[in-house]
Amino acid sequence: MIPASRSRAFARAILSSHGSRHLSSSTSSTPITSVLIANRGEIALRVGRTASELGVRCTTIYTDPDAHSQHALSSPFAVNLGAANAYLDGERIISVAKEQGCEALHPGYGFLSENSAFAKRCVEEGLVFIGPPWKAIEAMGNKSRSKDIMTKAGVPCIPGYHGTNQEPEYLLEEARKIGFPVMVKAVKGGGGKGMRIAFNEQEFLDKLESAKSEGRNSFGDDVMLVEKYIGTPRHIEVQIFADKYGNAVALGERDCSLQRRHQKILEEAPAPNLAESIRQDLWEKARAAALAVGYEGAGTVEFIFDNDTNEFFFMEMNTRLQVEHPVTEAITGEDLVSWQFKVAAGEPLPLDQETIAQRISERGWAIEARIYAENPSQNFMPDSGKLIHLRTPQISQSVRIDAGFIEGDTVSSNYDGMIAKLIVSGPTREVALGKLHAALQDYEVVGLSTNIEFLKKICKSPAFIRGEVETGYIQKYNDELFAPESVEPETFAQAALGLLAKELSGSGVPASQGPHGQSIGFAPSSQRQFTFLTSTGSDAELVQVSINQSGRNLFDVVVNGQGLDMTYTNVICEPLAPSISTFFPHTRIESTVIADGDKITLFQRGKQTRLTLATPSWYEKALGLKDVANSILAPMPCKVLRNEVKEGDTVEKDQALVVIESMKMETVIRSPQKGVIAKLVHKEGDICKAGTVLVLFEEVDEAVASVAAN
């Protein structure tokens, strides 16, 4: 067990001797009364809540795709910027702030929050920029320069090349000197973008070009640095705060090692299995980093921690509020956005280091899970779409949700796919982890793919429970985390009963009027048959459910297929829309059943199951549906960045075909088979809807293919 309360007498003694001064006199401050929130989604709403509590008038901005978003509707003072990329139009945003009579501007995170030129322009135009001085942003925004500053300040840095020579062959030579594997990283990057790992010399140049491309698209800059890649690293970061009077404090550390595509999905504080002496050294080095650049406001100093040697190295400093700041708020009891407003207004830090350390020692553990629109089973491919059903866990003192969407909203492919942040706290890590799993079981999302089921598996992963975290955790435990799960026969029964309940209640399209539910016999309500697919791939198996209604809410149910042969008699099913409560002979099950076309989603006993109603062969023929196995479809709305093959090329299974961009992330579409490229349907720069054909293969005669296979 990892205790939340630990002896910190030694630590507090150190911090008392080195702690920052808490100035309550000889200071001047001017309260902020109006602010423009230059961001969107949950962070815009988060900043707006605190601003309103402080009596600050808020102006929000939005774009055409966000016209009906929650942040756009949250304030009577809302201005439409137009195009989807207008959140990056700094001059227009500054102009809006002045037109609306705003005294200050809060950048949130992402977009322009770490743009030093934008911060400088705000100051030049008389706006209070609620963030650090532009010179500090500039210094820390360039990864090469920031590492030079940190080295001079005595903060350890990872070995690497941070120079100006950007010739690919020169960078390759530097990589050889450092020793593979190496990390190639955009110097102005962040959020996992513009980063690639090259494990050997042969793949270095390809990884370099991919990282440069993503850097250009995300930050308008493709200057790279090359660093030694640590094999079993942890990502540990320290939340710091500083004011204009020379005070700087560390508000504890966060472990953000659970990542995919170099982006965080779980964050916790404190960091598990970390020696107290190392913890305090991290805090002290983070404060030194802040003081080295004359920092003011909220910032995060990120470190790579080597699990093998217990050494840590400076990675970068994020000169803004972090996505995961709520876990720090939970373990300190402080509102960090409120701190931002106070520091920007010229007030000194509200607490000194010793008080903060005492708070953290007493307040236990906090964990944040990011709820993303993505498909973990397809390499966490981003998804988008309308939230046709959304049910969230019950909010309490220990369960918090920061979200930017409600049921009926659309998650757009134009922006990051984070739907919400779920934050839980408890007296120990074990209690907090149990609360997180329980809250995830209460989360229901239909309309797009999410990572919720994957997060549940993380919560139950033995090594994670033991706190044995590292950034390669998902790859290391891939077989465990992606192990296939069987579907219980009662789940198929509930799916069929739920569909029938919707028909009998008059909601939705009656099953007997479509191809999926077929009436048998002359009595219209006497019997139904539904056929389900557990997946839509080549390994899909059919399961048939027959329902015989023998009385009001009384049914006999037979489930056949996929190794199942179950009969349930005298089943009582009570519709509760959109749920059903069913009394089987051996148990009672309550399920939420949501139908979206032929896609059926069930939530029962804390688990989500997705099924597809099988389309009968006669129905396919009637509609003239054709086999599209010889084509590759766009998995989501996207932009084609480049085609990796040419028409007429012979390709192997898993060979890269097309590189697309969606939600600011590059995704490589690979060939599902060996074959010959007949047509590349789209060229570089084309915008495609989900389901659009990207690549066509030449059709192969089945007889010829059979002979070739033999």
Sort strands 233-242 and 193-198 into parallel, antiparallel or unpaired: unpaired
Confidence grade of residue 624 (pLDDT, cut at 50, 70, 90): very low
For residue 616, pLDDT over 70 is answered with no
* pLDDT at position 635: 80
For residue 17, pLDDT over 80 is answered with no
For residue 575, pLDDT over 60 is answered with yes
Confidence grade of residue 317 (pLDDT, cut at 50, 70, 90): very high
Cα separation values, 319 from 40, 115, 135, 296, Å: 18, 9, 11, 9
Q: Average the pLDDT over 269-289 and give the result.
A: 97
Q: pLDDT for 184-242, tens place per residue?
A: 999 877 667 789 999 999 999 999 999 999 888 877 889 999 998 888 899 999 999 99
Asked whether 214 and 194 are in contact (CB, 8 A), the reply is yes
Give the integer Cα–Cα distance in Å for 409 and 267. 26
Confidence grade of residue 453 (pLDDT, cut at 50, 70, 90): very high
Q: Average the pLDDT over 589-603 and give the result.
A: 95
Give the integer Cα–Cα distance in Å for 383 and 401. 21
Give the integer Cα–Cα distance in Å for 268 and 433. 10
b (16+ CB within 10 A) / e for 650-667: ebeeebebbbbbbbbbbb
List beta partners, residue 549: 555
Q: pLDDT for 355-364, tens place per residue?
A: 999 999 999 9
For residue 622, pLDDT over 50 is answered with no
* pLDDT at position 148: 87
Asked whether 377 and 535 are in contact (CB, 8 A), the reply is no
Confidence grade of residue 469 (pLDDT, cut at 50, 70, 90): very high
DSSP 450: B
Sequence-separated (6 or more) residues with CB below 8 Å from residue 464? 258, 458, 473
Q: Average the pLDDT over 372-379 and give the result.
A: 94
Which candidate in 8, 234, 320, 370 is catalytic?
320
* pLDDT at position 700: 63
* pLDDT at position 20: 45
Give the integer Cα–Cα distance in Å for 104 and 130. 7
CB hemisphere CA count around 290 (13 angstroms): 33
b (16+ CB within 10 A) / e for 346-366: bbbbbbbbbbbbebbbebbbb
Of 602, 636, 260, give the one whose Cα is nearest residue 445. Answer: 602
List beta partners, residue 611: 600
The SS3 of residue 459 is helix
In this structure, the chain runs to a length of: 710
* pLDDT at position 667: 84
Asked whether 402 and 336 are in contact (CB, 8 A), the reply is no
Of 213, 251, 274, 233, give the one whose Cα is nearest residue 340. Answer: 251
* pLDDT at position 192: 73
Q: Average the pLDDT over 331-357 and give the result.
A: 98
First and final C-alpha spacing in the chain: 58
Give the integer Cα–Cα distance in Å for 633 and 631. 6
* pLDDT at position 473: 96
Per the listing, tokens 């080597």 go with: 306
More confident site: 177 or 9:
177
Does the active-site annotation cover 320? Answer: yes
Q: Average the pLDDT over 436-464 and give the result.
A: 98
Angle, CA 615 vertex, CA 613 and CA 616 arms, to 5°: 130
Q: pLDDT for 78-125, tens place per residue?
A: 999 999 999 999 999 999 999 999 999 999 999 999 999 999 999 999
For residue 520, pLDDT over 80 is answered with no
Write the single-letter amino acid at 632: I
Q: Average the pLDDT over 655-674 and give the result.
A: 85
Looking at the chain, the whole-number percentage of residues with pLDDT higher than 90 is 72
Cα separation values, 206 from 143, 181, 364, 638, Å: 22, 14, 45, 22
Q: Average the pLDDT over 436-448 and give the result.
A: 97
What tokens were used for 319? 């000169």
Chain mean pLDDT for the chain: 88
Write the single-letter amino acid at 102: C
Per the listing, tokens 């000169």 go with: 319
Give the integer Cα–Cα distance in Å for 190 and 146. 14
Of 485, 484, 496, give the one whose Cα is nearest residue 560. Answer: 496
Alpha-helical (H) ranges within 8-142 are 9-18, 41-53, 70-73, 90-99, 116-124, 134-141
Confidence grade of residue 665 (pLDDT, cut at 50, 70, 90): confident
Confidence grade of residue 706 (pLDDT, cut at 50, 70, 90): very low
Q: pLDDT for 128-159, tens place per residue?
A: 999 999 999 999 988 778 888 998 999 999 88
Q: Average the pLDDT over 554-579 and give the result.
A: 94
The SS3 of residue 251 is strand
Sort strands 34-37 and 104-106 into parallel, antiparallel or unpaired: parallel
Asked whether 156 and 314 are in contact (CB, 8 A), the reply is yes
Least confident range from 261-265, 382-386, 538-542: namely 538-542
Q: Average the pLDDT over 484-498 and give the result.
A: 95
Write the single-letter amino acid at 250: A
Q: Estimate to the nearest angstrom the gap between the alpha carbon of 260 and the chain centroid.
A: 9
Give the integer Cα–Cα distance in Å for 432 and 368. 10
b (16+ CB within 10 A) / e for 584-606: beeeebebbbbbeebebbbbbee
Least confident range from 2-16, 431-445, 468-482, 595-609: namely 2-16
For residue 519, pLDDT over 50 is answered with no
Q: Estimate to the nearest angstrom the gap between the alpha carbon of 271 and the chain centroid.
A: 20
Write the single-letter amino acid at 320: R
Confidence grade of residue 526 (pLDDT, cut at 50, 70, 90): low
Sort strands 104-106 and 128-129 into parallel, antiparallel or unpaired: parallel
* pLDDT at position 536: 56
For residue 534, pLDDT over 80 is answered with yes
Least confident range from 40-49, 257-266, 532-541: namely 532-541
Give the integer Cα–Cα distance in Å for 185 and 294. 26
Per the listing, tokens 């901005």 go with: 61
| Reduced 3-state DSSP string for 72-95 | HHCCCCEEEEECHHHHHCHHHHHH
